[in-house]
Structure 1
Amino acid sequence: MTELTHDEHSPRPALDPHGRRALVVIPVVLAMLSMIGPFSIDTPFPAFTQMREEFSVGSAQMQLVVTAYMAAFAVMSIFHGPLSDAVGRKPVIIGSLAVYVLASIGAAFSPDLTVLLVFRVLQGLSAGGATIVSRTVIRDLFEGAQAQVLMSRVAMIFGLAPAIAPVIGGAVLQLGPWPLVFAFMAVLGVVLVTATVLVLPESHPVERRVPLRPASVLGGLVDVARHAGFHRVAWAATFAFAAQFLYIGGAALFVVDLLGLGELDFWVFFVPMIGSMVVGSWISGRAAGRISGRRLVSAGFTVSVGGALVGVGLSVSPWATDLPWAIVGPSLLALGNGMSYPTLQLMLLDLFPERRGAVVSGSSFLTLMLNATVAALVTPLIAVSALGFAVTALVMVTLGQLCWSWHCAVEDRDTRSPQHPEELEPTDLM
């Protein structure tokens, strides 16, 4: 479907009827917008050694550069989506990117770690406007199998961010000192503002918006938070991704301290792992319209849990920190996540068609808070060995599998119920 139609109950913005702009250019821009969040986590990794020496701090203190950004991202994420439900998608994306550019410039000129952390917080507060709100646009514009195909394409490009970010960061360091990394991030923000203005349509027209009132915005979040189906699906996705993010957020420790690699060697770890996630997203797109979303998600969780088990097995072997064995488990885990994550996102967005921004904000908040907590409290404790990473990842993905199994059991129960769907309690509906 290359031309979207309107219906009187759910008006949608018109797109290019020829389809090339809608099906190729827009997903690329959306993927670039969505990747700014993870890209901003990983790009400074190669510069940690320089910053640590200049600021005279230890590895644990440098981990705050990750934690401060993620915590701020999580706190603000709860507001970006509902705000876009009220004022539209583009104003939120453009405004937040403008603040992100200023924060990146401030980080580049930071004289010490304290000032740098302040600007990292500002980066985190602003980056979600692009990362979170961009996820709603595809579901605003497309339906059915096509939505899954395009969501998978976005996920494929989005998945490249953690792989290319440290590589780009390392390349920038070859041109000069660590402030250039944050200057590069500022330039990227300017490019994304330009792309949003020139390419992205406003996918949430005035007639579909909710009132811009605190009660209305917060009410949407409350409605989402009270929905049991939201929690089952959101926590399934959150725990599964947390298992993978454990390695991403702790990459500076895993790659340098455990694997003994250098500041230019992050690609050795990220390329196979993120490449596997991209392959999983490709499988998700190819499966659209061929198998049910439920079967695809279940298959993805099976691969992820299996990968985590393989990771534990290899971590107790003599090859625990040898390549390529050290990255086999994380790569299989990422493959399964790539298969399941796009469909889980669509399931969440379909829970509240008129409150998609609130849904994405709610789910992102859960994911980010868990990841920030893990990065701050868990990663420093388990980063002493490959086994610590592997066992923690297995626990996380198993919790995700349990949440998904619970959701499937509730769906099966409701299917067997003699009640009609409209007679069920809202908290029992998918």
Structure 2
Amino acid sequence: MTISSAAALPAARAPLSLILVLGGLAAFAPLSIDMYLPAFPAIAAELGVSAGQVQYTLAAYFLGMALGQAFHGPLADRFGRKPPLYAGLALYLLASIGCALAEGVAMLTALRLLQALGGCVCIVVPMAMVRDRFDPQTSARVLSRLMLVMGLAPMLAPLAGSAVLGLGGWRLVFWILAACGVAGLLASWLALPESLPAAQRRDTSPLKALRTYAGLLRDRRFLGHALATGLANAGMFAYIAASPFVLIELHGLSPQAYGLVFGANALGLVAAAQLNHRLLKQHDAGTLLQAALAVAAFAGAGLLAVALLTPAWPALALPGTLLGLFVFVASLGFVGANAAAGALAHQGHQAGSASALMGTLQFTLASASGAAVGLMNDGSACPMGLAMAVAGGLALLAYRRLARPVPS
């Protein structure tokens, strides 16, 4: 396995500009998802469609995120990290402008798909760049720092979207996302050095790319880490999909109070990621990951228990749900960075493809989780609790059975 010369950089010397730019790029996905959510009613009213039709634009974005990463990964391994990044950001920029000018929901849906196909490069390339530059343990620490930048996006995006909606309507949201695309292109050009030397690039045809992905899926260590983070994030998506109904409709929270709960949970995730960065100085990333997955599984089981016991002990329902959600979401601050570092640890020669497949698995599982919550909807909190309990339990099982962690 060959690592570029930049890998000699210790964690203490990881440039702040690198962390800010890579973290900002990785924040494109949550920003593009969450910022326009408050505008759903306005979009439906202006385009003369139902709320369900507007939701297809979100589904199209997730589909693009799942599919697009599978293409960007091999390109990043063949041409280097920056050319695919430029191309993806350019497509994201043009699609964002198109969304701002869309005249119908079908056009908006198609453009959201293109926006995701371009923007998902901002997930693939930053992780590959971190793997190019740092060893696995240091990668986990650097990725924990990226979580600080990435974690601010889901906290601030809905609030920013609401403010923008009041200032200039829903189309202004997409003009701002287009401006973010311009900023991403400039920052990538000015502040990101190419991290994959020409000598280490791989001539990857579509057939070779498929063989690479097949080989990765046969790699127990990679698959164990990838499924661990993918399944854990599937639990997170179940929370995002179901918590508005559970907390607002069932437990009577106001939309403002729900926003505070959402922000507090996101803050817990960011704080956990920073604690993870500190603990990695004394503890192995695999040990921390296994502990965090156990906590997530326990929290998911607790949420299901609270939902089942609500008819008998209604006073327990809201505090138990809030506590379970906070613990589950916060535990993911330890999962993402450590699982990504573990998955990429032995994939230095194909880090782009490996990070792409990991992202594709993550968004596919997340979409399936959200769909399952909707199909199981019975007017209670049980579907959310069940989805999060199953996701957390399977994430821990996948890691323990496939990744073969070093015993603590």
TM (normalized to structure 2)? Answer: 0.90
Partner Cα separation in structure 2 for residue 352 and residue 368 of structure 1 = 21
The 3 A distance-change label for structure 1 pair 402 and 370 is: same
Q: How far is the alpha carbon of 1:253 from its aligned partner?
A: 5.0
Quote the Cα distance in structure 2 between the aligned partners of 1:250 and 1:57: 23
Q: How has the CA–CA distance of structure 1 residues 104 and 384 changed in structure 2, closer, same or farther, with 3 Å as cutoff?
A: farther
391, 396, 402: which one aligns with 1:401: 396
Map of 1:238 onto structure 2: 230
* Paired amino acid for 2:146: V
| Structure 2 CA distance for partners of 1:69 and 1:307, relative to 1, 3 Å | same
Query: In the alignment, is residue 92 of structure 1 matched against residue 84 of structure 2?
Result: yes
Work out whether 1:358 is the aligned partner of 2:350.
Answer: no
Confirm or deny: 8 A CA contact 1:210 1:216 kept in the other structure.
Answer: no
The question of 1:146 aligning with 2:141 is answered no
Displacement of 1:304 after TM fit? 1.1
Q: Quick one: which amino acid aligns to residue 387 of structure 1?
A: C
Unpaired stretches in structure 2, ≥5 consecutive residues:
none
CA-based RMSD of the aligned residues comes to 2.7
Partner secondary structure for residue 120 of structure 2: helix
SS at match of 1:210: coil
Instruction: Note closer, same or farther for the CA distance 1:11–1:244 as it changes in structure 2 (3 Å cut).
Output: closer
* Residue in structure 1 matched with residue 387 of structure 2 by the alignment: 392
Distance 1:49 1:255, change over 3 A: farther
Change (3 A) 1:125 1:263: farther
Report if the CA contact (8 A) 1:239-1:400 is conserved.
Answer: yes
Residues 1:144 and 1:15: Cα distance change in structure 2 (over 3 Å): closer
Deviations 1:72-128 (A, max 9, x none): 211111111111011011111121011101111111122221111011111111111
The residue type paired with residue 362 of structure 2 is T
CA contact (8 A) 2:4 2:196 kept: no
1:428 aligns with none
Among 366, 370, 373, which residue is 1:371 paired with?
366
Partner in structure 2 of residue 12 of structure 1: 5
8 Å contact kept, 2:61–2:113: yes
User: What amino acid is aligned across from residue 122 of structure 1 in structure 2?
Assistant: L
- Do the aligned partners of 2:4 and 2:133 also contact (CA within 8 Å) in 1? no
Residue type of the partner of 1:24? L
Q: How does 1:28-427 map to 2 (within 5 A)?
A: 28-250=20-242, 253=245, 257=249, 267-315=259-307, 316=310, 317-318=313-314, 322=318, 326-379=321-374, 381-382=376-377, 384-407=379-402, 410=404
Deviation at 1:350, TM superposition (A): 1.2
Structure 1 gaps of 5+ residues are 1-7, 416-430
C-alpha deviation, 1:402, in angstroms: 1.2
State the AA in 2 paired with 1:318: P
Say which SS state the counterpart of residue 63 (structure 1) adopts. Answer: helix
Deviation at 1:407, TM superposition (A): 2.8
1:372 positional shift: 2.0
Give the percent of matched residue pairs that are identical in Structure 1 and Structure 2.
Answer: 28
Q: Is the 8 A contact 2:6 2:134 kept in 1?
A: no
- Distance in 2 of aligned mates of 1:75 and 1:357: 15
Q: CA deviation at 1:266?
A: 5.7
Which region of structure 1 is more displaced relative to structure 2, 214-223 or 391-400?
Answer: 214-223
Provide the C-alpha distance between the structure 1 equivalents of 2:378 and 2:98, rounded to a whole number of angstroms: 31
Look up the equivalent residue of 2:61 and give its one-letter code: Y
Q: Deviations over 1:273-297 (max 9, x none)?
A: 1111112211211111311222101
Using the size of structure 1 for normalisation, the TM-score is 0.85
Count of aligned positions: 403
Contact 1:77–1:364 under 8 Å retained in 2: yes
Helix, strand or coil at the partner of 1:168: helix
Residue aligned with 2:5, SS? coil
- Conserved? CA contact 2:296–2:328, under 8 Å: yes
- The CA distance in 1 between the partners of 2:257 and 2:222, in whole Å, is 39
Mapped partners of 1:177, 1:298: distance in 2 = 45
Higher relative contact order (CA 8 A, sep 6+): 2
The verdict on how the C-alpha distance between 1:343 and 1:105 changes in structure 2, with shifts beyond 3 A counting, is: same
Could you tell me how far apart the structure 1 residues matched to 2:254 and 2:83 are? Answer: 41
Pick the structure with more helix per residue.
Answer: 2
